[in-house]
Structure 1
Amino acid sequence: MSLAITPAIPAGTLSASAQPSIPSHDRELLLRPWESDDATILQRAFQDPSIRRWHTHHVSSPGEARDWIASSHRSWQQEQAAQWAVTRVGGEVVGRVALRWMDLLHGLAECAYWVLPHARGTGVAPRALAGLAAWALDEAGFHRLELAHAVDNEASCRVATKSGFALEGTRRSAHLRLDGWHDMHLHARVLGDS
């Protein structure tokens, strides 16, 4: 069956080149693809109670961390998702941003992020998310980026708002976590939003 619309991002567009590194607007952060040497940092991140609380998947061994990194590279090549390590000038990993899933036909993707405990409260998450959004909307060809977080995760709500993601509503009982079902705020940023 043929498509009635032209894909927003033709298949093969992203995977035709290596996953890019993306600087934040202030150039103090760099979003770069995860590297195998990051496995220890990735595993340590998922030991943090806050990261574990708000994320469904956990990384609990060096082998799982290496598999997660390898999987992130395959996901880019398959144009299904993209993961970046957030680094400070000098290379220190301080967090993660991602397009958790990508729908190239409709130019739609869902963003996700976390920040390591020692870097929280320093503006890392909003700057990284804004940098990712600018690349995705202005360069990669996405039309709409969504972001969902548990209603109880007030810090994530602040990050979304600071990064230009408008609150659009609440998805009731939408995500299952270890402590049960959570209502989720839905935020979005659309091409042309200021």
Structure 2
Amino acid sequence: MPYLVDPLMSPGCLSQQTQPALSAGSGLVLRPWLPKDAARVVEVFRDPAIQRWNLRRADSEEEAREWIKQWQQGWEEETAAHWAVVDGTRDTALGRVSLQHLILMSGQAKISYWTAPSVRGAGIGPRAVATVAEWALGEAGFHRIELGHSTTNEASCRVAVKAGFALEGVRRKALLHADGLHDMHLHARIR
């Protein structure tokens, strides 16, 4: 059955190239995840705030390496794009930014992120999220990037606003967390 519209992004537009490393300025680099980052993922996921706002936990380096393998496959399959946010000098993972739920037909994706407890409040989250959004809406060719977070996660809301994502509304009882269903803010940036 033929489509009535042309896709905004062609299949292969991502997977036929190497996932780029992105500079977020001041020595902050976003690069694809590597198996060597597994220990850092486990360490960060021990943080109570990470456990509160994420739906999974990392119990072992082996499990984290499997996640990283899946994150790498996301690029190849054009279903997701995951970056480690690293200190360009030490190459230590300070956070993560991901484009997920890619819809190439309409050029849409959802962005998610976390930062390690030791660097929260230093502006790394907003810089990293804005960098990926600018790449996605520019060079990559996406049309719309959505960002969602619990309405009770004020820190995440600050990241969204600082990264240029306009608040569009509230999705009622939209995501199940460990403590129950949460209302979710919906933010977005468009091309």
Give me the identity figure in percent.
Answer: 48
Unmatched tracts of structure 1, length 5 or more = none
The aligned length equals: 190
Give the counterpart letter for 2:119 in structure 1: A
Q: 1:154 matched to which residue of 2?
A: 154
Q: What does 1:10-159 align with in structure 2 at a 5 Å threshold?
A: 10-24=10-24, 26-90=25-89, 91-159=91-159
8 A Cα contact 1:33 1:83, kept in partner: yes
Give the counterpart letter for 1:37 in structure 2: K
Q: Post-superposition, which runs of at least 4 consecutive aligned residues in structure 1 deviate over 6 A?
A: none
SS in 2 for 1:50: helix
Between the aligned partners of 1:13 and 1:105, the Cα distance in structure 2 is: 11
Between the aligned partners of 1:105 and 1:58, the Cα distance in structure 2 is: 32
Q: What does 1:163-182 align with in structure 2 at a 5 Å threshold?
A: 163-182=163-182
Give the counterpart letter for 2:71 in structure 1: S
Unmatched tracts of structure 2, length 5 or more = none
Shift of 1:77: 0.4
Between the aligned partners of 2:57 and 2:166, the Cα distance in structure 1 is: 28
8 A Cα contact 1:39 1:62, kept in partner: yes
Give the counterpart letter for 2:6 in structure 1: T
> Are the structure 2 counterparts of residues 27 and 142 from structure 1 closer, same or farther at C-alpha, using a change threshold of 3 Å?
farther
Shift of 1:100: 2.1
Q: 1:185 matched to which residue of 2?
A: 185
8 A Cα contact 1:150 1:185, kept in partner: yes
Between the aligned partners of 1:33 and 1:170, the Cα distance in structure 2 is: 32
Between the aligned partners of 1:86 and 1:32, the Cα distance in structure 2 is: 7
* RMSD across aligned positions (CA): 0.8
Shift of 1:68: 0.3
8 A Cα contact 1:151 1:185, kept in partner: yes
Instruction: Give the TM-score normalised by structure 1.
Output: 0.96
